Structure 1
Amino acid sequence: MKTEELGSARILPLMFRLALPSLASCLINVLYSIVDRIYIGHLSSASSAALTGVGLCLPVLQMISAFSAFAGSGGAPLCAIELGKKEKDSSAQIQAQKIFSNAFFLLLFFSAVLTFTVLLFYRPFLYAFGASEGTFPYARDYLRIYGCGTVFVQLAMGLNPFISCQGHAKTAMLSVFIGAVLNIILDPLFIFVLGMGVKGAAWATVISQGISAAWIFAFFLSKNSCLKIDSRIFKPEGSIIYKISALGISPFIMTVTESGVYAVYNYGLHKFGGDNWVGAMTLIQNVQLIVYLPLAGFCSGIQPLISYNYGARKFLRMKYVITVMLLVTGITEILLVMSVSFFPFFYTGIFTGDSQLLNIAAPMLRFYILGMYIMWLQHCAQTVFVALGKAKISVFIACLRKIILLIPLAFIFPRIFGVEAIFCAEPCATFCSATTSGFVLYFLCKKIWKASYSEMEPRIL
């Protein structure tokens, strides 16, 4: 697909050409994210302690991915907007390249800082997130190895949005697919055949991410990419980094506060319930990934299309894209959440055969997942805010759900109503923030549509 097709091709087929590979990427990414836990959860000995230990690493892994989102999700929409302007402004291509180079610099810088931090401070991190003497050895083994591969994680996750923003959705999907398939193959080999257990799962993930990063490097060095890896990577510009930061802070907050939420959850569950309750939350969060990532994948595929047409001032095309995105994600998410609500033992049973964990996790899953009935509205709104470069609005919505609502509720509920109440914090916070997001999106789009009345565009379907 040529980049110019984002502003000229018929919209409905174009949306699905972009969204389906991105959706496939996120479905594959579900496997990437949870396949370690599936295998570990079925280890013949100490499976529940090992699963809980790896689950305790999740807040740290979320923090690492937050920095890749900062550079990737902050820079890619800006690149897409500049590439949209390219039709009318020849200097836009140069500006897009500068944005890409500065984002690349940030990813390398974050890699160095995060590797040092994780390897030096993994012990206090894990104990702060609810580790016990029984689960800490498993968490330590996994996190130390994963920390060594931080640079691969940063480059694989942070550079992939710059492939999608050029319209190469299939290539972006393949970068995820290659790593995920390799991870699925290496996991049983390292965990069971070589008897490495949790360490084997970590090595499988690091090697797989390294291969994904190499694939992405090859794309940016090829003639298919209009963004290139060159010496400008090592010449950061303050003004451009500021723009990336202003937009990237929203996805960063959304991801890093997820880490904070997990920490509060794990602390409360360990204090009021014990290791089995922490393990049950790990199962529930795995199921949440199955429900959430298809939503994220579809919206991620659509985002470059919104950004490009906003930059090209083709507002009617943008309006149609947003409308279809809301309809597709709303219907899909409601059906998925209904499925999980009806069959909670099936979904949690994917990850473990431990009856104690299942008897805690399955009933609590029904309460925890209720917020996903409306979460699609917030994610669509966030996608639009980031795509249009509306950094302040995006940051406010990101902070509203996690910092203002969810973390305080997760801290307060178990102290008043008991350990089970902590699972109700998620739907309460999600309902309030998603409703607010919907109203903000409505008024923002209403303002933009006024500019479209004089720009009648034929053949948008």
Structure 2
Amino acid sequence: TIIDDSLKYLRIMFAGIPVVMAYNILASILRALGDGRTPLYAMIVAAVINVALDLLFVLGFHWGIQGAAAATVIAQLCSGIFCLLAISRVEVLAFTREDFKMEGTLCLYLMKLGLPMAFQNAIIAVGGMIVQFVVNGFGVLFIAGFTATNKLYGILEVAATSYGYAMVTYVGQNLGAKKIDRISKGMRSALIVAMVTSAVIAAAMLLFGKVVLGCFISGSPEDVAVTMNIAYHYLAIMSVFLPILYVLHVTRSALQGMGDTLLPMASGIAEFVMRTGTAILLPVFLGEEGIFYAEILAWIGADVILVTSYYLRMKKMKALQSS
């Protein structure tokens, strides 16, 4: 029954992939213009619609898992339409019939930029599935604790993702204007803000993590206590090392803003190797404790490549500008 319901959910979500792609493209265009508010408003609208439709489809129409999936796709469609309406008001982006003619050179260039990023995200996702496979061998309570903490991963990462979007736009604009020094200054400022933000989020998780985790954990008092210890221990480890993740997002996005998607892809491969290698090998020596460091070492592996690549690329660009 679980497999059947999962397949129903996946089929509807996969059918909605064009909707997700449309939103991502439209939101990226807006961010490239320096408009980060409209994509945010679009996601707020989508979240409200999603909740409302979940209640209507699941509780009202009794459509179950299929209703929840349909609500998500419709909400994402609304967010895409919201961004499209905003773009239609930008004069320089007004569509004409000629704009829909395919240009081979431009399509190839966009594929060259996009495919490495797609591959990077794919291998990171596969690495996550391998880690989950390893986790599944440690018992129900460990799975519950590990999963509860992963539900908070979005909160830990949310600001890092936002800074990443900002850096792609900022670096791309300054590179186009040939203001290389401004890229360096912006990078330093972004890293400082990222470090402060990650420290604040980490402190909040360490202080109030158990309260938040309690929203995702249920069962008998004994099971809840064991699950909570596992979940909070994992959360504490990720919180302490959170600055590493923020460096990853800022640096990777800076390189992407320079039009370099190959090195970020290489960092994704490093993440995959470190995450899966740690998940498979460390538990042999450290038991359950070893699995908690798979994510941390994946971040470190990516950072080594990204920070080094950024430094060398900036050094090269500054040399070319001064010559």
Which category of TM-score, normalised to the shorter sequence, fits these structures?
0.7 to 0.9
Q: Which residue of 2 aligns with 1:386?
A: 256
Matched, 1:251 2:117: yes
Q: What is the alpha-carbon distance in structure 2 between the residues aligned to residue 435 and residue 331 of structure 1?
A: 21
Q: What is the alpha-carbon distance in structure 2 between the residues aligned to residue 193 and residue 424 of structure 1?
A: 43
Q: Which residue of 1 aligns with 2:232?
A: 362
Matched, 1:350 2:215: yes
1:205 Cα deviation (Å)? 0.8
Matched, 1:267 2:133: yes
Q: What is the alpha-carbon distance in structure 2 between the residues aligned to residue 194 and residue 274 of structure 1?
A: 36
1:310 Cα deviation (Å)? 0.5
In the alignment, residue 397 of structure 1 is paired with which amino acid? S
Q: What is the alpha-carbon distance in structure 2 between the residues aligned to residue 191 and residue 360 of structure 1?
A: 32
Structure 1 residues 422 and 431, CA gap change in structure 2 (3 angstroms): same
1:341 Cα deviation (Å)? 3.2
Q: Deviations over 1:285-343 (max 9, x none)?
A: 22111011211112202321210121121223323222211111121112212322343
1:146 Cα deviation (Å)? 1.9
- Structure 1 unaligned spans of 5+: 1-132, 455-461
Structure 1 residues 191 and 362, CA gap change in structure 2 (3 angstroms): farther
Q: Deviations over 1:159-187 (max 9, x none)?
A: 21011112232223222222122123333
- In structure 2, which of residues 6, 12, 16 is the aligned counterpart of residue 149 of structure 1? 16
Q: Which residue of 1 aligns with 2:282?
A: 413
SS of the residue corresponding to residue 85 of structure 2 reads helix
Matched, 1:227 2:97: no
Percent identity over paired residues: 21
CA contact (8 A) 1:299 1:383 kept: yes
Correspondence 1:107-146 to 2 at 5 A: 135-146=2-13
Q: Which residue of 1 aligns with 2:161?
A: 296
In the alignment, residue 326 of structure 1 is paired with which amino acid? L
Structure with more helix by fraction: 2
Matched, 1:396 2:259: no
Relative to the length of structure 2, the TM-score reads 0.86
CA contact (8 A) 1:179 1:211 kept: yes
Relative to the length of structure 1, the TM-score reads 0.62
Tell me how large the CA RMSD over aligned residues is: 2.7
Q: What is the alpha-carbon distance in structure 1 between the residues aligned to residue 91 and residue 149 of structure 2?
A: 39
In the alignment, residue 423 of structure 1 is paired with which amino acid? F
CA contact (8 A) 1:269 1:278 kept: yes
Q: Which residue of 2 aligns with 1:446?
A: 315
Q: What is the alpha-carbon distance in structure 1 between the residues aligned to residue 285 and residue 67 of structure 2?
A: 41
CA contact (8 A) 1:249 1:395 kept: no
Matched, 1:340 2:205: yes
Matched, 1:432 2:297: no
Aligned length in residues: 318
Q: What is the alpha-carbon distance in structure 2 between the residues aligned to residue 416 and residue 136 of structure 1?
A: 34
Matched, 1:210 2:77: yes
The structure showing larger relative contact order (alpha-carbon pairs under 8 Å, at least 6 residues apart) is 1
1:137 Cα deviation (Å)? 4.2
CA contact (8 A) 1:316 1:452 kept: no
1:426 Cα deviation (Å)? 1.1
Q: What is the alpha-carbon distance in structure 2 between the residues aligned to residue 227 and residue 357 of structure 1?
A: 52
Q: Which residue of 1 aligns with 2:171?
A: 306
Q: Which residue of 1 aligns with 2:49?
A: 182
Q: Which residue of 2 aligns with 1:160?
A: 27
Q: What is the alpha-carbon distance in structure 2 between the residues aligned to residue 230 and residue 274 of structure 1?
A: 58
SS of the residue corresponding to residue 313 of structure 1 reads coil
Task: Pick which of 208-217 and 437-446 moved more.
Answer: 437-446
Q: What is the alpha-carbon distance in structure 2 between the residues aligned to residue 234 and residue 138 of structure 1?
A: 39
In the alignment, residue 130 of structure 2 is paired with which amino acid? V
- In structure 2, which of residues 283, 286, 291 is the aligned counterpart of residue 422 of structure 1? 291
Q: What is the alpha-carbon distance in structure 2 between the residues aligned to residue 410 and residue 235 of structure 1?
A: 48
SS of the residue corresponding to residue 152 of structure 2 reads helix
